[in-house]
Each structure stands twice: as C-alpha cells, then as structure tokens.
Amino acid sequence: MNLGERVRDLTRLAFQLGNNWMTLAGAALTTSSAFVLIWFWFMEITSPRQIHPYAGILLFLILPALFLIGLVLIPVGILRLRRKRRLAGEPALPLQAVDFKQPGVRRLLTVVGILTFINVSIMGTAGMKGVEYMDSNRFCGLTCHTVMSPEYTAFMDSPHSRVGCAQCHIGHGAPALVKAKISGTRQLFAVAFGTYSRPIPSPVEHLRPARETCEQCHWPQKFTDDKLIVRTKYAEDEANTPSTTVLLLKIGGHTPNGTTGIHGRHLDAMERISYVSTDRRRQDIPKVTYRDDQGQLVEYVTEDYKKLSKEKLAEAITRKMDCVDCHNRPTHAFELPDRAVDKAISKGRMSAELPFLKKKAVELLKLDYPDQKTAAAKIPVDLAEYYRTAYPEIYKHKRAQVDTAGEVVKAIYLRNVFPEMKLMWGTHPNNIGHEEAVGCFRCHDGSHTAADGRSIASDCSTCHTILAQDEKDPKVLKDLGMK
Ligand code: HEC
Ligand code: HEC
Ligand code: HEC
Ligand code: HEC
Ligand code: HEC
C-alpha cells in the first residue's frame, strides 16, 4: 500500500466515525483549547509579565475544562451515532469490534495512541499548573477581590508578605490538598452567589499546626533574652503632647537550664497548656490546664466556669496552645485608630505640629462610612476643611503638611476598615499584649485559680520590666544612646 492509500484509508475511517456534530464539536473544542493552552504556556515562559488573576481563572481552570469536555464528547458522539444507526437498521459503523484485519484500524489505533499521549501530557501540565496557580498568593488574595481584600491588604503590609497563603493555610500532603480544593470550590460558589459570611470567620481550627508552619522558619530554640519595646503615644490636646513607654519584654525561650519567659513557659517539647474557650473567637477562656515542671497537671478555672450550664460546656472548644493562640494576627494584623495614628506620627509620616491632629484624625477614622470609596473621598477633604476653618493661618502656611496628613489618615482607614466585608475597627482583636484587646489577660487576669489556691501569674513583672511609663523624655533612652 502506498502512502496515498494509507492516508485515504485513515481519513475514510475518521470521516465515517466523525460524521456527527458531537464528535466534531468535541474535536474542535479540544484542538482549539489545546492550541491556546500551549501558546499561553509558551508566552508564560518567554514573557515576564504577571497574569491578571481573572485571566488566570480562564487559563488555568476554564480552558483545561473545555479541553477535557471536548475529549469526552468525541467518543460519546461516536457511541450515539452507532446506536442511532443500529436502531434505524442502517449498516453498522466500522470498528464495531476492534478488528485488526480491517484496513486502517491498526494505523488509526497508532494515531489515537499518539494523540492520547499528547492529550495526557497536556492535561497533566494543565492540572499541575492549575493547582500551582490556585495556591498562589495572587489567586487567594485577589481573585475574590472584595472577599479577601482585608486579609490580602494586611498580609501585603506584614513581615510575612513573602510567605505563601497556602504555607499557613493548607496542610501537607494529598488529603489536605483535596480537602482544601473541595472547600475552595464551595467557596467559589459562595462568592458567585454572594452567600459568604461577612466578615470571614477566623479559621484557627483549619490552619496547619504551628509545628509545620511557624516553626519551619522560627525555631523555638532561637528565642532567648528580652525584647526592648519603645512606644510613643500622643495626647488629644492642641499640642499632641507625646509620652513614651519603654518596656523590656521577657520573651524568653529555651536555655541550657530549661525554659523561661513568654516563649519558654507556654511551649515545650512536652505539651504544656491546653484551654477551654466558650466563644468562637477564643476570647473567653474560663479553664486552663497546665503541666508544671514536675509533670503534674494543674487545672485553673474561673468562678464563671463553675456556673456554666451543661449545654454551654458541650459547645465549648478545647485547644492545645500553640503559636497562633498569642500570634493570632501574625500577618493579617488590623490596627485600632489610636495606635495607628500614634505610630504614623511617631514615625514622622505626619506632623505633630498640626494642632489637635491626633484628636481630629482619630475622630475622622471612627466615623461610619458606607464603603471605602466614600471614606477615601471624605477623609482628606474633611481634615483640610477643619484646618481651613479652625486654623486658617496654619492652613495657609502649612498646606503641604495638612494634605500629607489627610492622605496618611485616609491610608490608615483603607488599610484597616472594610465596610463591604463588615470588617470594622476591632473585628479581629490581636491577642498580643493587653492594651487593645484582652490578649494575655484572657488567662493572666488573676482570677484563674487552682484547687490548691494558686493562680496564673498576673503581676506586672511577670512578662515585662517597665523601664519608663508615659514619660515625656525617658532617661533610659538617653542612657541607651537612643535619643
Ligand atoms: C504567616 C501565616 C499566614 C499567612 C502567610 C497567611 N495567613 Fe491567613 N491567617 C493566618 C492565621 C494565623 C489566621 C487565623 C487568625 C485567627 O484565627 O484569629 C488567618 C486567617 C485568615 C482568614 C480568616 C479571616 C481572618 O482575618 O481571621 C482569611 C480569609 C485568610 N487568613 C486569608 C489569607 C490569604 C488570602 C493569605 C495570602 C494572601 C493568607 N491568609 C496568608 C495566618 C496566615
Ligand atoms: C516561610 C517562613 C516563615 C513562616 C512559615 C512564618 N514566618 Fe514569621 N517571619 C518570617 C520572616 C522572614 C519574618 C520577618 C523577620 C524580620 O522582618 O526581621 C517573620 C517575622 C515574624 C514575627 C515578627 C513580626 C514583627 O512585627 O516583627 C512574628 C511574631 C512571626 N513572624 C510569627 C510567625 C508565626 C506565628 C508564624 C506561623 C503562623 C510564622 N511567623 C510563620 C518568616 C516566616
Ligand atoms: C504566650 C504567648 C506567645 C506564644 C505562645 C508565642 N509567642 Fe511569639 N511572641 C509573643 C510576644 C508577647 C512577643 C513580643 C511581641 C512584640 O514584639 O510586641 C513575641 C515575639 C515573637 C517574635 C518576634 C521576636 C523578636 O525578637 O522580635 C517571633 C518571631 C515569634 N514571637 C514567633 C513565635 C512562634 C514561632 C511561636 C510558636 C512556636 C510563638 N511565637 C509563640 C508571645 C507568644
Ligand atoms: C490560654 C491561657 C494563656 C494565655 C492566653 C497566655 N498565657 Fe502565659 N501562661 C499560662 C499558664 C497556664 C502559665 C503557667 C502557669 C504560671 O506560671 O502561672 C503561663 C506562664 C506564663 C509566663 C511565665 C510565668 C512564670 O512565672 O514563669 C509568662 C512570662 C507568660 N505566661 C506570658 C504570657 C504572655 C505575654 C501572654 C500573652 C501574649 C500569655 N502569657 C498568654 C497561660 C496563658
Ligand atoms: C501575661 C503577661 C503580662 C502581664 C501580667 C502584664 N503585661 Fe503589660 N504587656 C504585656 C505584653 C506582651 C505587652 C506588649 C504588647 C505589645 O507589644 O503591644 C505589654 C505592654 C504593656 C504596656 C505598653 C502598652 C502600650 O501600648 O502602651 C504597658 C504600659 C503595660 N504592659 C503595663 C502593664 C501593667 C501595669 C501590668 C500589671 C497590671 C501589666 N502590664 C501586666 C504582657 C503583660
């Protein structure tokens, strides 16, 4: 048989089998999506540009799906055609049974084999890229723009902005990945139909254990010594009077003589502390179980715990303490207006020379705005208007400072408040410290007592040495050469 005949054989067979709309549509769909996919992968290698997250959905999820649908349509079309002809009593299609004696069959099988190999390679690559893409920060943070915008914004502005979302949120291994993809699909529907909760609830119980995440980069053995904290606050008076607090925080850790301080006492090779909380945000902790140095279990409970009803107790959550019980906001840290404004002034981002700046800024930040757009438009204008009417001289001579302050206050709002997601000031309290939220005092408040009368340490020197408190010009900073 010469080449011409072989090709004719093959095409005749293909023509007979493909003579139905479904198979044709399938072939067209598969071929065209394969070309677009391959072209796109080529572009991805050769061009350094980032893919827009929505284009990503098309390229990584929809195109491969079309490719697969096309592949399925091809044989389904042939089967339907076969059935139709059988019912109509027409002569059967070729390849009723795989008959190697029939002309062209072997060749057709070879071609189908080669095509299948190519298809499997394309599907494999597409699948791998799809998973990779769905784990990327841009997909997690930007695709469902409004939904994830608070967490993404805070993340980008945190020490962890180079750590992947998936590194903290999705567990190791195939089961965790499948679980994440299933819940991810459900979430996509929730986004499409607008049924997601606002704000998104905190997912501590679904996070990877801290051993697998935090401790990969921060070894507990590395913590030792103390940490110096210098914090300046500004009063709500005309002069924005500053006062500075200096603390030596006993962050502690592992020493040759055992464990000490904040990191050492809660976390150890052995399980140290577990607790019972009665609310989902883990702010009410009526019972704490502690394994002391002798290995004895001590139960600290509050008066409230003894009064809890059976139903309440059944709903309560018991959790082993780990990093995220204190560092619940390692990357999605939302500030409160007071501290955010203090920080902006002390870092010199806006000028303390503007009278009543602290008071006015906090006031504007705390107003109710329907959405971010309105706040962004109103805050700078209102601040400028305040100085224009109350301090016309200052407005005239320090116009640039007023404008800068307006922009900084606006940025603080946009960074921390998302009315569209009902994420307002204080929606997600930060458990480090005890000034802005209950934090450490959830347990260290002096009211958690054991049967033998001991209570969880709560005097002020347990966690820090206060070197200066609310002083105008702390001497200690001069001694340290910091002023
Ligand atoms: C360093 C680890 C870490 C990284 C990286 C990280 N998260 Fe989180 N995320 C957390 C922790 C811890 C919580 C739970 C806080 C809690 O339960 O109080 C959380 C909570 C959330 C929540 C629930 C709402 C909330 O604010 O509590 C969302 C949504 C979220 N993260 C999305 C993301 C997205 C999107 C990214 C990537 C852009 C990301 N996370 C990256 C640690 C991380
Ligand atoms: C992939 C590595 C990585 C992982 C995983 C990781 N971190 Fe970090 N973390 C870093 C880096 C890098 C910094 C920044 C250090 C710096 O800026 O000096 C940092 C900084 C911090 C800081 C100091 C923040 C500050 O304001 O100075 C804390 C607290 C922290 N991480 C806690 C955590 C916790 C809790 C987890 C687990 C939920 C975690 N980290 C997971 C790499 C990581
Ligand atoms: C009992 C509460 C608590 C637990 C549990 C805890 N931390 Fe901390 N951690 C703190 C406090 C408080 C600070 C100091 C905060 C500050 O800088 O204001 C701190 C500081 C840090 C810092 C910054 C250190 C520096 O020198 O700036 C890192 C990194 C950190 N923690 C990681 C972790 C990791 C990882 C874990 C889990 C293995 C963990 N922490 C568990 C309370 C805790
Ligand atoms: C879930 C409850 C719980 C929370 C929340 C908690 N602790 Fe503790 N902490 C304990 C228990 C229990 C002990 C051990 C009992 C004791 O020494 O009083 C302890 C011990 C300590 C110690 C050692 C005290 C000593 O005398 O050696 C320090 C320091 C400490 N905690 C700091 C903190 C800081 C800082 C925070 C907040 C960032 C915090 N803890 C949050 C339960 C908690
Ligand atoms: C269980 C540990 C713990 C105990 C007990 C404790 N603190 Fe603190 N305190 C902290 C931590 C942690 C911070 C740092 C928080 C941060 O970095 O924002 C802090 C910060 C502070 C600050 C500075 C906060 C700011 O923003 O100005 C002051 C002031 C302070 N503590 C006073 C006290 C006083 C007074 C007591 C005794 C009634 C006390 N603390 C008891 C853990 C503790």
User: Which of 117, 134, 151 marks a domain boundary?
Assistant: 134
Are 429 and 442 spatial neighbours (Cβ–Cβ below 8 Å)? no
287 shares a domain with 146: no
Rounded to the nearest angstrom, the distance between the alpha carbon of 166 and the centre of ligand 1 is 9
Q: Whose CA is nearest to atom 6 of ligand 3?
A: 323
- Cα distance between residue 216 and residue 194, in whole Å: 37
pLDDT of residue 18: 79
381 shares a domain with 318: no
**Amino acid letter, 267:** L
The answer to whether the CB of 231 is under 6 A from ligand 5 is: yes
User: Which of 179, 196, 213 marks a domain boundary?
Assistant: 196
439 shares a domain with 306: yes
Instruction: Indicate whether 397 belongs to any domain.
Output: yes
Q: Mean pLDDT for each 10-residue chunk of the chain (483 residues)?
A: 75 80 90 86 74 69 87 90 87 65 73 84 81 73 74 90 81 64 65 74 72 80 83 96 95 76 79 89 93 89 90 89 91 95 96 96 97 96 97 95 97 95 93 93 95 92 94 91 80
pLDDT of residue 178: 64
Ligand showing the shortest atom-to-Cα distance for residue 439: 4
289 has which bridge partners? 274, 299
Rounded to the nearest angstrom, the distance between the alpha carbon of 442 and the centre of ligand 2 is 24
Cα–Cα separations (whole angstroms), residue 293 to 222, 239, 260, 271 = 21, 52, 11, 11
159 shares a domain with 300: no
Q: Which atom of ligand 1 is nearest to the CA of 147?
A: 29
**Amino acid letter, 309:** S
Q: Whose CA is nearest to atom 6 of ligand 5?
A: 460
Instruction: Indicate whether 44 belongs to any domain.
Output: yes
Are 276 and 316 spatial neighbours (Cβ–Cβ below 8 Å)? yes
436 shares a domain with 411: no
Instruction: Indicate whether 202 belongs to any domain.
Output: no
Q: Which atom of ligand 3 is nearest to the CA of 322?
A: 5
- Cα distance between residue 334 and residue 149, in whole Å: 12
- Cα distance between residue 370 and residue 377, in whole Å: 12
The answer to whether the CB of 137 is under 6 A from ligand 1 is: yes
pLDDT of residue 4: 79
Instruction: Indicate whether 38 belongs to any domain.
Output: yes
pLDDT of residue 36: 86
Rounded to the nearest angstrom, the distance between the alpha carbon of 213 and the centre of ligand 2 is 10
104 shares a domain with 34: yes
**DSSP, res 337:** H
Are 210 and 323 spatial neighbours (Cβ–Cβ below 8 Å)? yes
Ligand showing the shortest atom-to-Cα distance for residue 435: 5
Are 443 and 275 spatial neighbours (Cβ–Cβ below 8 Å)? yes
436 shares a domain with 311: yes
Question: CB count, 10 Å around CB of 261?
Answer: 21
Q: Are strands 242-249 and 464-471 parallel, antiparallel or unpaired?
A: antiparallel
Burial of 66 (0-12, 13-18, 19+ CB in 10 A): middle
pLDDT of residue 185: 62
* Closest to 188 (Cα-Cα) out of 370, 15, 54: 54
Rounded to the nearest angstrom, the distance between the alpha carbon of 74 and the centre of ligand 3 is 58
Q: Which atom of ligand 3 is nearest to the CA of 249?
A: 14
Are 358 and 345 spatial neighbours (Cβ–Cβ below 8 Å)? yes
74 shares a domain with 60: yes
Structure tokens at 273: 């502390």
- Cα distance between residue 401 and residue 351, in whole Å: 7
The answer to whether the CB of 273 is under 6 A from ligand 3 is: no
Which residue's structure tokens are 């023509």?
15
449 shares a domain with 409: no
104 shares a domain with 158: no
For Cα atoms 320, 321, 323, give the angle at the middle one, nearest 5 degrees.
135
Which residue's structure tokens are 């902006």?
344
Are 427 and 379 spatial neighbours (Cβ–Cβ below 8 Å)? no
Structure tokens at 287: 């019972």
Mutate to test the pocket of ligand 3, among 225, 260, 262, 325 (most ligand atoms within 8 A of CB): 262
- Cα distance between residue 284 and residue 282, in whole Å: 6
The answer to whether the CB of 247 is under 6 A from ligand 5 is: yes
- Domain extent at residue 232: 221-330+432-479
Burial of 476 (0-12, 13-18, 19+ CB in 10 A): middle
240 shares a domain with 323: yes
122 shares a domain with 262: no
User: Which of 81, 112, 134 marks a domain boundary?
Assistant: 134
pTM of the model: 0.83
Per-state percent for the chain, helix, strand, coil, to nearest 5: 55, 10, 35
